[in-house]
């Protein structure tokens, strides 16, 4: 066998097009028992190697339609089923299910080594052509000859399409017994919970899997979702704490971070003090604490943590937040305005944030520090969020300060038309801008 032909035999099993592998369609052969196959009689074809080169070059150029027809010619001239399979795989990925159906019905042979893949492609193509009952027949034939997890899942998927959830569940259950896969368990659990309505059994299955296999993140999320849907809120935070400490102990820091965010969300929902205490004990320099301190009006703690984090990291985002907090907390804002402006100016040299741009712009405009710079900043912010009414208010106020009364009126009217005059600052701006326009 030539090197090109060897390549094709291997490549058929690893087939991929444009980064999308056929693994997503459960097409890889996975035979779990040794089997004696019927040998297919083949023919010699003088141009075989030349055709292979053409086909491979077409594939390299993403000319898959041309490539598949070369493979079909190779099959017709040699009767080698690896070429037919290659043609069918490309056709399937090109969504030409009719061609797959037509050629498999014409050339399918029993007990050849390509039979499993041919039956898979046939079943899936029939399913995509909405010939569900026919797809079911061939999927059953497939599983009767080649019992493995992927084939059970294919048959199960067809049952689900037919809304036969009980049989679909049984097939995925058989698959799970073979592979113990989290993806299979995820599908199995969704069928059992949402379609068979066996909710307690589903949760028990997931809990058992976690006890045996550890805190597999996606399975844990699924179990948490079911707890929440069934209003078992008392189970949420204890379970999340176990997840978090397990990930921390095993140095799975990405997962511990995701889990911590979820845990704090649920803790804060019930009692924000519990969320604060948890972080103060287990993660005292966590940025989540800043928002929690602010929400619970512990501004001194929020300010101290911001300064600590800024000194430690030199992160300009922290500097911007420090500046804003200093301004908002000041009783006499005129006394701190210059220092706040210096900090915001420094912070915005290295970060791009529309909210900070607008905040800085408003200070520069409202305190008559640098109105033109303020307008440049708010216009930059509006490129990011063109309909943000707070930004439009800043723009209108800046135009008013430069005595561009008509433009100020046009912009301010957009704000007033949307939100009215309940806000005192908007009301003040509107009155002054209307007066200016007269």
Q: Write out pLDDT tens, residues 193-205.
A: 999 999 999 999 9
CA-wise closest residue to 369 among 400, 391, 342: 342
Spatial separation of the C-alpha atoms in residues 400 and 412, rounded to whole Å: 10
Q: Is the pLDDT of residue 265 over 90?
A: yes
Segment 114-118 mean pLDDT: 96
CA-wise closest residue to 321 among 300, 341, 337, 303: 303
- Give residues with Cβ within 8 angstroms of 139, minimum separation 6: 119, 123, 151, 154, 155, 158
In a 3-state reduction of DSSP, which class is residue 332? coil
- In which element (H, E) is residue 414 found? helix 405-419
The vertex-140 CA angle with 137 and 144, nearest 5°, equals 140
Q: Write out pLDDT tens, residues 295-320.
A: 999 999 999 999 999 999 999 999 99
Q: Which pLDDT value is given to residue 20?
A: 37
Segment 256-274 mean pLDDT: 95
Over the chain, what is the mean pLDDT? 91
CA-wise closest residue to 116 among 90, 148, 86: 148
Segment 30-35 mean pLDDT: 51
Q: Which pLDDT value is given to residue 437?
A: 74
In a 3-state reduction of DSSP, which class is residue 80? coil
| Rg of the chain (C-alpha set) | 33
Q: Which pLDDT value is given to residue 333?
A: 95
Q: Which of 2-16, 79-93, 132-146 bottoms out in mean pLDDT, i.e. has the lowest?
A: 2-16
- Give residues with Cβ within 8 angstroms of 151, minimum separation 6: 30, 116, 120, 139, 142, 143
Q: Which pLDDT value is given to residue 36?
A: 85
First CA to last CA distance, the chain: 92
Q: Is the pLDDT of residue 27 over 80?
A: no
Let me know: does 120 contact 154? Beta carbons within 8 Å.
yes
Tell me the pLDDT band of 5, cut-offs 50, 70 and 90.
Answer: very low
Q: Is the pLDDT of residue 9 over 50?
A: no
- Give residues with Cβ within 8 angstroms of 261, minimum separation 6: 288
Q: Which pLDDT value is given to residue 15?
A: 36
| Chain centroid to CA 420 | 39
Spatial separation of the C-alpha atoms in residues 291 and 185, rounded to whole Å: 37
Let me know: does 37 contact 130? Beta carbons within 8 Å.
no
Q: Is the pLDDT of residue 269 over 60?
A: yes
Segment 92-111 mean pLDDT: 96
What are the beta bridge partners of residue 20? 17
Length of the chain: 438
Q: Which pLDDT value is given to residue 6?
A: 38
Q: Is the pLDDT of residue 188 over 60?
A: yes
Q: Angle 81-93/64-78 helices, nearest 10 degrees?
A: 160
Q: Is the pLDDT of residue 25 over 90?
A: no
Segment 156-178 mean pLDDT: 97
116-to-83, 142, 229 alpha-carbon distances in Å = 15, 7, 41
The single residue listed with the structure tokens 């992160």 is 315
Q: Is the pLDDT of residue 164 over 70?
A: yes
In a 3-state reduction of DSSP, which class is residue 143? helix
Count the Cβ atoms, other than its own, within 10 Å of residue 61: 10
182-to-192, 214, 248, 375, 378 alpha-carbon distances in Å = 15, 11, 22, 54, 49
Top-confidence residue, 6 or 419: 419
The single residue listed with the structure tokens 């000194």 is 311
Q: Which pLDDT value is given to residue 34?
A: 56
């Amino acid at each position: 066998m030539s090197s090109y032909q060897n390549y094709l035999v291997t490549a058929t099993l690893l087939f991929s097009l444009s980064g999308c592998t056929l693994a997503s369609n459960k097409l890889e052969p996975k035979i779990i028992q040794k089997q004696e196959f019927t040998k297919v009689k083949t023919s010699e074809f003088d141009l075989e190697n030349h055709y292979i080169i053409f086909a491979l070059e077409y594939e390299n150029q993403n000319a898959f339609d041309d490539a598949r027809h070369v493979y079909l010619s190779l099959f017709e001239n040699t009767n080698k089923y690896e070429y037919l399979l290659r043609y069918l795989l490309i056709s399937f990925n090109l969504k030409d299910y009719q061609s797959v159906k037509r050629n498999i019905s014409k050339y399918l042979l029993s007990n050849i080594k390509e039979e499993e893949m041919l039956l898979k492609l046939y079943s899936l193509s029939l399913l995509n052509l909405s010939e569900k009952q026919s797809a079911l027949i061939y999927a059953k034939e497939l599983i009767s000859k080649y019992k493995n997890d992927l084939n059970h899942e294919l048959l199960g998927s067809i049952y689900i399409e037919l809304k036969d959830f009980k049989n679909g569940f049984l097939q995925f259950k058989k698959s799970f017994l073979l592979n113990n896969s989290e993806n299979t368990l995820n599908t199995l659990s969704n069928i059992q919970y949402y379609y068979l309505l066996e909710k307690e059994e589903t949760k028990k299955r997931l809990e058992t899997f976690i006890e045996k296999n550890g805190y597999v993140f996606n399975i844990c999320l699924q179990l948490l979702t079911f707890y929440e849907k069934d209003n078992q809120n008392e189970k949420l935070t204890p379970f999340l704490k176990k997840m978090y400490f397990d990930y921390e102990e095993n140095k799975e820091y990405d997962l511990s971070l995701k889990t911590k965010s979820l845990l704090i969300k649920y803790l804060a929902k019930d009692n924000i003090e519990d969320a604060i205490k948890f972080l103060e004990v287990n993660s005292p320099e966590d940025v989540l604490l800043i928002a929690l301190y602010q929400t619970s009006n512990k501004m001194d703690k929020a300010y101290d943590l911001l300064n600590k984090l800024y000194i430690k990291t030199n992160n300009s985002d922290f500097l911007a937040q420090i500046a804003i907090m200093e301004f908002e907390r000041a009783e006499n804002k005129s006394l701190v305005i210059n220092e706040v402006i210096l900090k915001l100016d420094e912070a915005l040299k290295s970060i791009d944030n529309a909210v900070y741009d607008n905040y800085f712009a408003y200070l520069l405009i409202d305190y008559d520090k640098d109105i033109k710079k303020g307008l440049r900043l708010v216009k930059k912010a509006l490129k990011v969020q063109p309909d943000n009414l707070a930004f439009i208010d800043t723009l209108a106020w800046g135009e008013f300060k430069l005595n561009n009364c008509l433009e100020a009126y046009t912009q301010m009217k957009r704000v007033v038309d949307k939100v009215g005059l309940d806000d005192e600052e908007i009301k003040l701006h509107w009155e002054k801008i209307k007066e200016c326009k007269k």
